[in-house]
Structure 1
């Protein structure tokens, strides 16, 4: 058990360090995918249609923890249930539903490859912790950490899915024109979809009360938090009538 605990500890620390490095990298320049793919990069990169890119890169986050669960003979535990219904539930939606509906721009191949590596790593880390390390009392579902975390998770997931729906409806499948998103949390922040996902994973971290989950939540904040800022700056430059009261990521604050 000590060996597996050490494994999760060091993998979590590495995940957090990588998140900080991404944060420092994006202080001046956003990650090069979506609307932030530079024209020169488009010409030099192999581009994959958004539907296939999202499916390929998100699939490991669903399959890897599922395989870890199924490999364990005693899989009917609270930890297994949480990683399956919460973590795998999110990535089932992202892999099989979001990817089939997205109207995003093509993604560079190297971004997809890096995402596959990360999703495999994180999927194993979260699944391994919940299956082999985390131990919960039988009444954990009554614990304030679980109940509050589950509520926060569902709230964030709702924001994320609704925001993706709003973005999808901004243009027809063949269009590439950008428009100002309106409705839902977009009335308050430019990165409503990012806000929803950040809230979601912090809810998961509270519900599971595990180091790997908190490391992933912090990684998510470091990775897509700056992206919300760059989206906000893009909208301000692109649209003269962009709502001035709208913030980047945190309503009324930032």
Structure 2
């Protein structure tokens, strides 16, 4: 997974050098994306317990996707330099949502890492946090973080990236929900896939 995240992290770091930080919005955007992928690298090294590996083709495709997304979102923001700021400034609300998203995502990843003892490969039903309400709260908070990034940026490109990411994570959450229902006979039927009481 380090192969998947390091190029995007480096694209975030490079954005501080490549694009003059002429206003606070581009600084906040570059910071949020860099922090997002730094957190992912930190989790790979110190938090996650993986049950298996990934096919190299998949890892390379994911890595390229994350890298290109980070590079193009920051570049699109750079291209807005010199244009008037949006009439409604949402960047600080975006920062708040980003911090909520990244914190909630990290917390639920931590809970997931604790459901298996060392060397245990058996699947278990996660507990704690929002796991009693939704199957994938870590995806829910990741979407909240991406919405925050979009509000920091306030570009159509960043919003498009967030919509695409959200649709992908909704699909993964629903598939995970079906998997849990098929794997565990006693899995509670009222637990939603992603959004408490809704989806």
Under a length normalisation based on structure 2, what TM-score does the superposition of the two structures give?
Answer: 0.90
Greater fraction of residues in helix: 1
Structure 2 counterpart of 1:245, from 156, 176, 190: 190
2:131 is the counterpart of 1:180: no
Say whether the 8 Å CA contact 2:15–2:30 is kept in structure 1: no
Q: Distance in 2 between matches of 1:80 and 1:207?
A: 8
Say whether the 8 Å CA contact 1:62–1:91 is kept in structure 2: yes
Structure 2 counterpart of 1:154, from 93, 99, 107: 99
Please report the RMSD computed on the Cα atoms of aligned residues, expressed in angstroms. 1.9
Check 1:80–1:219 CA distance in 2 against 1; reply closer, same or farther (3 A cut). same
2:65 is the counterpart of 1:130: no
Q: Distance in 2 between matches of 1:175 and 1:252?
A: 32
Tell me the residue number matched to 1:58. 5
What's the CA shift string for 1:151-178, capped at 9, x where partnerless? 2221111211111001000102311101
Q: Distance in 2 between matches of 1:79 and 1:129?
A: 12
Deviation at 1:136, TM superposition (A): 7.5
1:107 match: secondary structure: coil
Say whether the 8 Å CA contact 1:192–1:249 is kept in structure 2: yes
Q: Distance in 1 between matches of 2:100 and 2:10?
A: 24
Tell me the residue number matched to 2:24. 78
Structure 2: gaps spanning 5 or more residues: none
Structure 1: gaps spanning 5 or more residues: 1-53
Check 1:154–1:244 CA distance in 2 against 1; reply closer, same or farther (3 A cut). same
Q: Distance in 1 between matches of 2:97 and 2:15?
A: 26
Deviation at 1:221, TM superposition (A): 1.1
Tell me the residue number matched to 1:6. none
Q: Distance in 2 between matches of 1:129 and 1:78?
A: 15
Check 1:133–1:76 CA distance in 2 against 1; reply closer, same or farther (3 A cut). closer
Structure 2 counterpart of 1:193, from 129, 133, 138: 138
Say whether the 8 Å CA contact 2:12–2:31 is kept in structure 1: no
Check 1:81–1:136 CA distance in 2 against 1; reply closer, same or farther (3 A cut). farther
Under a length normalisation based on structure 1, what TM-score does the superposition of the two structures give?
Answer: 0.72
